Structure 1
């Protein structure tokens, strides 16, 4: 909020608040900007509180954007975590078990399209005071991501389904702890083997990452309402491999974990 208040005092032409698309609505359909939303994650909860406070700041010309799950070169917290975890299962020699269903929506947006959309909206007078969903047109699901991760790292994956996953809801904290314990040692060993001495990347997950809530957003306000054109309408194996390749070039990701045939 301090940034927003200072922006108002300085009379900036436009203040863009990057919120979160990790929200759902009461109808369980595609989430629109004007829906009564329910934040899914802890981060989204506080981001939504900030959204509501912005309109109370005098003289602030603001626009709110709600990105879906962000991926692309430089991403450390979106799909990259799935790439890191998936990379460990070739050496573990077992399938990657994933809670919930493959059809669970986890809509995405490429980081370059996020940056382009922010610039586009900041120069759009009618976007002042508005909220915009940033989401690609690929309607990404868990299965789409899992298939790409499996291809990149030469692994197999299985979805545990709704019934089993629902039974696990009361034990999510335990599941998170066990998963983090299971992944931390092979990650450290892979980093050591590839001489990755210091990296911000980690397979560490939190409860919010496995609760199974759908992230499905309606992006028509940005696309149709402001004539924004996506450069990356859907995720592909090449786009996710670019993330890994970039981290390998910076010696932040163990190169031994990437399938050398790709």
Structure 2
């Protein structure tokens, strides 16, 4: 039996990173795990499961946009290099200045990939996004036309393209659909928060566009498993020097109505959609509409938190303008299955899986416990 690999997890305190770290620790998969992040675990609202996992790994605070910091982060105590490098690190906030994305997505990823080449890492797993594909009526495959519909995705695609041409890089690119699961503050979570707001207001919740707008999903546990599975497959099949791309999406083919079905079940509210005509009219002044929508949600959410004596919470119903356009996230996530034998353990989005997100936040004291 071959020795277990040593693993460097970049951006490991974030939502997906912390789940991946817990997966490695709980399944005793790595000989050594080092986690790098600019955010300290103590300030990151880690639940008890994640806290326990982080007690068993080495944590280093680091700025991965800085080459000197990257070099230090990549060096093991004995001076040797890590076998597997997984890059979850990236700016995740929408509508930031371009310089932020240039620094915290592009420069960061290129710095880390170059260091992985220099140290001859066996595999470098880059977490990209399904938002890079052109929004069409069909599910995008890995070779489908790209047309990023937000700035973050533009910079992710820029990274993807450059890494594929980087000589000596043993590269896997994973492009997930909307990731959900324990610890998610973005993705589907703002919709859940809106559901709680409309429950409080005793009003019907209506989203823009139509019920069949695709918002394909993938559970964070499956993302964690896919990272590890694909890295082992890459190394054991001697794919060295060959860039490989896999989409990650369950076979739920989630759309807006599927999500609303679960929201109705959780909060006991009516839901609906504005429809294409009204939504097109709203689109004429999307900036003003976004402001109005957020004002409608933010004040009641604040009132709810106050009523339950929750003084601070990282959770917000705020919806960024880029998320309100008629852009489908529709991915074909089957290639990783046929090529590597991977299977999704969460093939369907369920009401229970969304309740788990809420329960976890309640246990952390950042969501009202009814």
Q: Structure 2 length normalisation: TM-score?
A: 0.67
1:210 and 1:222 mapped to 2: Cα distance? Answer: 30
Given the alignment of the two structures, is residue 108 of structure 1 paired with residue 217 of structure 2, yes or no?
yes
Measure, in 1, the Cα distance between the counterparts of 2:348 and 2:354. Answer: 11
Shift of 1:180: 1.3
Distance in 2 between the 1:55 and 1:223 partners? 22
After superposition, what is the alpha-carbon deviation per residue over 1:125-170, rounded to whole angstroms, capped at 9, x for unaligned? 2564111000001110100001111221111111111122122212
Residue in structure 1 matched with residue 132 of structure 2 by the alignment = 23
Q: Spell out structure 1 runs of 4+ moving beyond 6 A.
A: none
Contact 1:196–1:254 at 8 Å: present in 2 too?
yes
Q: Given the alignment of the two structures, is residue 8 of structure 1 paired with residue 8 of structure 2, yes or no?
A: no
> How much does 1:26 deviate?
7.4
Task: Choose which of 33, 43, 49 in structure 1 pairs with 2:158.
Answer: 49
**Which stretch shifts more, 39-48 or 123-132?**
123-132
Taking the aligned partners of 1:167 and 1:222, their CA distance within structure 2 comes to 40
The equivalent position to 1:228 in structure 2, one of 342, 351, 355, is: 342
- Tell me if the contact between 2:206 and 2:274 (Cα under 8 Å) persists in the aligned partners: yes
**Paired residue secondary structure (1:64):** strand
1:195: how far off? 2.0
Q: CA deviation at 1:45?
A: 1.3
- Within a 5 Å distance, the mapping from 1:54-93 to structure 2 comes to 54-93=163-202
* 8 Å Cα contact 2:214/2:254 also seen in 1: yes
CA-CA distance at 1:41 after TM superposition: 1.9
Counterpart in 2 of 1:156? 270
CA distance in structure 1 between the aligned counterparts of 2:281 and 2:300, rounded to whole angstroms: 28
Matches within 5 A, 1:208-223: 208-223=322-337
Contact 1:26 1:36 in 2 (8 A): no
Task: State the superposition RMSD in angstroms.
Answer: 1.4
SS state at 1:202 partner = coil
Task: Tell me if 1:240 matches 2:349.
Answer: no
Q: Which range is displaced more, 7-16 or 232-241?
A: 7-16
5 Å matches for 1:111-122?
Answer: 111-122=220-231
C-alpha distance in structure 2 between counterparts of 1:25 and 1:188, whole Å: 37
The residue aligned with 2:53 is none
- Bigger CA radius of gyration: 2
- For the 8 Å contact 1:86–1:96, the answer to whether it is kept is yes
Q: Corresponding residue for 1:186? A: 300
8 Å CA contact 2:180, 2:219 repeated in 1: yes
Q: Report the 3-state secondary structure (helix = DSSP H, G, I; strand = E; otherwise coil) of the residue aligned with 2:247.
A: strand
Q: Which runs of 5 or more residues in structure 1 are unaligned?
A: 257-262
Note if 1:130 corresponds to 2:230. Answer: no
What is the alpha-carbon distance in structure 1 between the residues aligned to residue 185 and residue 316 of structure 2?
9
Aligned residues: 256
* Contact kept in structure 1, 2:135 and 2:329, CA below 8 Å: no
Partner of 2:266, secondary structure, is helix
